[in-house]
Each structure stands twice: as C-alpha cells, then as structure tokens.
Amino acid sequence: MTEMVFGSGTSRTGEPVLPRWWRTIDKWALSAILMLFGIGLLLGLAASVPLAERNGLEPFYYVKRQALFGVIALVTMLGLSILNPVQIRRIGVLGCIISFVSLLLLPFLGTDFGKGAVRWFSLGFASFQPSEFLKPCLVVFSAWLMAAAHEAAGPPGRLYSFVLTAAIVVLLALQPDFGQASLVLFAWMVMYFVSGAPVVLLGSVAGLTAMGAVFAYNTSEHFARRINGFMSTEIDPRTQIGYATNAIQEGGFFGVGVGEGTVKWSLPDAHTDFIIAVAAEEYGLALVMLIVTLYAVVVVRSLLRLMSERDPFTRLAGAGLACSFGVQALINMGVAVRLLPAKGMTLPFISYGGSSVIASGITLGFLLALTRTRPQGRISEILARRGE
C-alpha cells in the first residue's frame, strides 16, 4: 500500500547488513556518543577513586565496573541501531510491559540503599533501577499508540498513552522520584505536541503538573526540603550543592589540573549526580562546554534527520527519545550549577551506574536506528513527486 501511494524508492538489494548500517547511520551523532563514553571513563578515573578508598576497595574498582557497563551499553546500542522501526517498536513495547511490572513490584521487593527512595532491586552483585529502562521503552510504546491514532478507524492512542504515562508518573512520584516522573511526562508532552495536539490541551497538562507539584510540596517532606534548599538565598557550603558550586568556581576556564581537584573527596555523589562538578574543577569550563556541545550534536542532529521522515511512529519516537536524552543531561548540569532543584538524576553515558549507562545505551540505540536514512523515508521526495 505504501508503494501504491508514495511510489517505490531505490534500494541496494543484496547489500550486506554492516555496510548498509554504516552508510545509513548518523556518523556525527555516533561519534559524539563515543566521545561522551570516553569522557565518562576519564572523569571516572578522577571521581570514583575516593569512593573506592572509603569503601575499602582497590582504587580503580568503580572505573573497571564503569568500563564493563559501558561496553555492555555500547554493544547494546550498536545492536539495536541495526534494527528497523518495526523491530524497535516490538522491543520497546515488550520492554515497557516488563519495566512497568517491575515498577509495580518495587514497593514489595525493592530497596532504597539508605537514600530515602525505593527505586532499586538489589541483585547482590549489582542493582537494577526499573525506571531507567522504562523511559526509552515508554517513549516507543507511546509513539506507537499515538501513531495508531492517525490511521483510519484507529484506536484513541493519545488517550491510552496519556493514561499509561499518568499511571507511571504517579508510581514514580510515590517512590518518591519526582525527577524521573518529570522527565517521563516531558517526553510524553513532546510527542503529544509533535503528533499535532492542541496547545490548549498541553497547557491543561502543564497546569495539572503545576498543581501536582504544589500538592507534593505540601505533603512530601523530601520534595519540600529540596525546593526550600533551591529557593534559599544562601548556600550551605557543607551541602552537596555547596561543594559543587565551590568546585565550579575554582575550576575557572582550564581547571586546577588533572587529579588536583578536591571536591571528589567531599561529595558522596561526585561519581554520579555531581560528576560535572568534578569535570569543571579539574578540567575547567573548556571540558564542560565540550560535553554540552556533544549532547547538543546528538539531539540536534537527530531532530534534523527526523524532520525529513514521513512515518509518524518514527518521528514521534525519535523526537521523544532525543528530547528526553537531552533534557536529562540539561537537568543534571542545571542542578550542579543551581539553576534547578536537586533531583538525583545522572548525566547520561558519563555518570557511574550500571542501570543508567545501559539504559542510555538502549535509548541511543533506539534513536540511532530511527534516524538512519531509508528509501522512501523523506517528505521532500513525496512533495516533489506530487508536484510533478
């Protein structure tokens, strides 16, 4: 049916999988991702040594684990990037169902590791955070539902995706994990906007979100404490935000020197939530700007390639994945420089953490697969044929 409506495109029949993958992949985005992984290992060498010493482990214990997680993430990312949109959709739907069930089981089988929020399953040798894997899979699932709504006699996919997303947001807020809940809702709103939703409806969702934030502030001591700390005109130098702020100021443009930073000895989360403070102190603004640029390359390149795609599912899923990836990085860095309240969110592909790194690999694998160039995949070609 597609060929009857739009005409058939040229394809290289019999071309091997890997050459076709290399010809169609976004090499700029792929290069930026590999550089982010390399920077993550570099910063891990600086940030995780004090943690290993405090825990009585060998100095590079966490660096080795990060390298192992990173290799798994890269292999997963490259494997997913070879797939076509239909295969990505199937994996995303199945992953969303499994992750959602895992999220429901967290209150009964999960642990908080002393951090006040039940977000993890402890496996003994490692931990598993379902919300990290739920994010990319939910984007794919919601994109499928929204795309189905565009078909003749299709289901009310937007409504179904909203109900599912709202249920997940409530579950995350109950942990409490307001950062992940906000990110999930943001990704859904991006896809809802791209699918052609009225601005009034988006405004209504934003209003409900604001009301939910007020309710959380009045009922959750955890949430209120973070908001009050953010709104305070004074920064307690003994808090994580205080240490991070001082480290960023000390770093200047080129940093204090490799291995010369002190914030990693004071911050308990220097290797995860506040790793950008370690980068700013030891390597200065120069490295921070490079990191920001690499994230921007991945997001902007992906969105530009998606603009020429005619398949609704590909556009919606790709936009949701790209924006959630970029906004997570923005939130992490915004917290470190005190532009946003503390949210406990990792810096994708750079912060330490098995769930975070592997989930980022899944996100980027989905994104690279959806942004590959394909025959009949450009709107400009369709418009050109109609004008003939």
For residues 252 and 165, the model is more confident at: 165
Contacts of 277 (CB under 8 A, 6+ apart): 243, 244, 247, 248, 263, 267, 270, 336
Q: What average pLDDT does this structure show over 155-165?
A: 90
What pLDDT sits at residue 8?
37
Lowest pLDDT segment from 53-67, 81-95, 172-186, 232-246: 232-246
Reported as a single tens digit per residue, the pLDDT across 329-343 is 999 898 888 888 777
Residue 236: the pLDDT is 62
pLDDT above 70: residue 11: no
pTM of the full predicted structure?
0.87
For the stretch 111-137, pLDDT in tens is 877 666 778 887 776 778 888 999 999
What pLDDT is stored for residue 384 in this prediction? 55
How many helical (H) and strand (E) elements, i.e. helices and strands, does the chain have?
Answer: 17, 2
Cα dist. 23→12, 17, 82, 242 in Å?
11, 10, 11, 48
Q: Which two tokens stand for residue 19?
A: 């050459």
Residue 73 pLDDT exceeds 90 = yes
- How large is the average pLDDT for residues 356-383? 81
- Answer whether residue 35 shows pLDDT above 60: yes
Distance CA(134)–CA(80), nearest Å, equals 16
Which of 384, 361, 278 shows the shortest CA–CA distance to 72?
361
- Answer whether residue 41 shows pLDDT above 80: yes
- Whole-number pLDDT of residue 200: 74
pLDDT: is 98 or 209 the higher one? 98
Q: What is the mean pLDDT of residues 31-57?
A: 87
The residue-averaged pLDDT of 185-214 equals 81
Please check the confidence at residue 377 and state whether its pLDDT lies above 70.
no
Q: Is 121 helix (H, G, I), strand (E, B) or coil?
A: strand
Give the tens place of pLDDT for each residue, 273-308: 888 888 999 999 999 999 999 999 999 999 999 988
Long-range contacts of 64-70 (CB under 8 A, 24+ apart): 65/352, 65/354, 66/40, 66/41, 66/352, 66/357, 67/41, 69/353, 69/354, 69/357, 69/358, 70/37, 70/40, 70/41, 70/349, 70/357
> What residue ranges do the domains of the chain occupy?
16-387
